[in-house]
Amino acid sequence: MFNTLTDEIEIFRSIEGKRSKLFSCGPSLYRRPHIGNYRTFLYEDILQRYLEYLGYEVVRLISLTDIEDKTILESREKGLSLRDLVEKNRRIFSEDSELLKMRTPTYKACMMVCTSTAIEEAAKLIRKLLEKEYAYYFNHKGRLNVYFDPLKFQGFGKLSKLDMSNWPRKKRRFHRDTYPGTPWNQGDFILWHGYKEGDVDFWETEIGKGRPAWNIQDAATITKYLGSTIDVACGGIDNLTRHHDYTIAIVESASGKNLAPYWLHGQHLFVNGEKMSKSKGNVYYPEDLTKIGYTGEQIRFFLIYAHYRKRLNFTFEKLKNTSKKLDAFRNIIQDLGKARSKETSIRAMKLVNSLRQTFEKHMNRDLAVKDAFDSTFSIVSKLDILNKKGKLSHESACLTLSNLRRINDVLQVVF
């Protein structure tokens, strides 16, 4: 896999042998996820499924951000309670995950948890950071907040290759959870929003009343459910600036251990060559595509078919073409299931035996799903021709289908 931390393709080696811990940055529940978000979640789903295919016992954690500046503001603007807003969007995410055949909490190896379940862990981490003097209290507009000083953490910005020699020595603080765009905020970032009279959403903790900032919530969720060391951390390319380096700095400052040896980041999904935005009216959700006749498998296939580290451009023409390709593949498989010949040619047996080997060769190259699928399609098409010539036995066809079902354990688009 391509490791963003080292900028190199590396052989994956789990810390605990055949047991692997995987973390995915899930959605913020201030809004429902769009198909660009699901592109990220799906490459992570493919990673989990392929590790399982290879024999790993995978424990995957997906964080759902339910308490932050954005959810609070959105709930006020919509006249909803915070709980009602996030529950509505959590339900939609769960339904979309089922539609797109993503691992869900019904599967024992996948935890999908709200970050508010780790409030006490966040307070515990902040207390450690205060004791070690990586963090400090500061009163901002009547709130006794807590901030992290990046200059105190040696190696800050190592994931995004940040040049700390340009970091200003004059004290600056960033008080909000997030800021627009992806430039670096060169200053101290907030960990804790202290309580202010009139606040509705706050907790009583060992460091006082308030709520954790978004910046610490993934760190708290990871350490609570997976511990201070995991194998792989994943997210979209937007997480590479600020967010993931913040998480590394928090966890490693508190624990003294490396958080994760492998970091993966997926590229953007554009629509007709442009970024998705409500102002352009080009934001699409899975529901928009199912309403016009596309299935969950077709949507999933479109989103996983391009390499996860390459920008993908969505158009309805491209969606139609990939759907046709998938349908053609599935039709051939149905025909193979009807094979009744009693003999199999040597050529056919070689093709049958090469199915999984060929699939694995491409998947082992940083999850090259497109190449893996296309190679599988090519082999199956050749078997279809031999089947029509009576050179594929029923037994060999059954073995072919068995191999394809194993492949589909990863892809989830064939059967």
Please name every residue paired with 264 in a beta bridge, in sequence order, or none if there are none: 234
CB pairs under 8 A, 24+ apart, for 168-172? Answer: none
pLDDT beyond 70 at 107: no
**325, 343, 342, 341: which is closest to 381 by C-alpha?**
325
Separation of alpha carbons 340 and 257, rounded Å: 59
pLDDT beyond 90 at 82: yes
For strands 232-236 and 262-266, give the pairing: parallel
- Residue 390 tokens, joined: 């009576």
**225, 215, 158, 161: which is closest to 22 by C-alpha?**
225
Domain boundaries in the chain? 2-266, 271-411
CB pairs under 8 A, 24+ apart, for 333-340? Answer: 333/380, 333/401, 333/404, 333/414, 333/415, 335/384, 335/387, 336/380, 336/383, 336/384, 336/387, 336/392, 336/397, 336/400, 336/401, 337/397, 337/401, 339/387, 339/392, 339/393, 339/394, 339/396, 339/397, 340/394
The 3-class SS string of the chain reads CEECCCCEECCCCCCECCEEEEEEEEEECCCCCCHHHHHHHHHHHHHHHHHHHCCCEEEEEEEEECCCHHHHHHHHHHCCCHHHHHHHHHHHHHHHHHHCCCCCCCCCCEEEEEHHHHHHHHHHHHHHHHHCCCEEEEEECCEEEEEECHHHCCCCCCCCCCCHHHCCCCCCEECCCCCCCCCCCCCEEEEEEECCCCCCCCEEECCEEEEECHHHHHHHHHHHHCCCCCCEEEEEHHHHCCHHHHHHHHHHHHHCCCCCCEEEEECCEEECCECCCHHHCCCCCHHHHHCCCCCHHHHHHHHHHCCCCCCEEECHHHHHHHHHHHHHHHHHHHHHCCCCECCCCHHHHHHHHHHHHHHHHHHCCCCCHHHHHHHHHHHHHHHHHHHHCCCCEHHHHHHHHHHHHHHHHHHCCCC
pLDDT beyond 90 at 106: no
Taking residues 244-265, what's their average pLDDT? 98
pLDDT beyond 90 at 279: no
Which pLDDT does position 221 carry in this prediction?
Answer: 97
- The torsion defined by the Cα of 35, 41, 46 and 49, in degrees rounded to 10, comes to -130
For residue range 31-62, list pLDDT tens digits in order.
Answer: 999 999 999 999 999 999 999 999 999 999 99
Which pLDDT does position 181 carry in this prediction?
Answer: 86
Regarding pTM above 0.75, the answer is yes
pLDDT beyond 80 at 375: yes
Which pLDDT does position 348 carry in this prediction?
Answer: 96
Return the CATH fold of 2-266: Rossmann fold (3.40.50)
**76, 108, 85, 94: which is closest to 26 by C-alpha?**
94
Q: Taking the CA of residue 289 as centre, how many other CA atoms within 13 Å lie in the half-sphere pointing to its CB? A: 28
For residue range 108-123, list pLDDT tens digits in order.
Answer: 578 999 999 999 999 9
**214, 164, 219: which is closest to 189 by C-alpha?**
214
Mean pLDDT of the chain: 96
The residue length of the chain stands at 415
Look at 14-23, 274-283, 349-358 and tell me which has the smallest mean pLDDT. 274-283
- Residue 73 tokens, joined: 């503001």
Which pLDDT does position 195 carry in this prediction?
Answer: 98
CATH architecture of 271-411: Orthogonal Bundle (1.10)
Separation of alpha carbons 22 and 58, rounded Å: 7
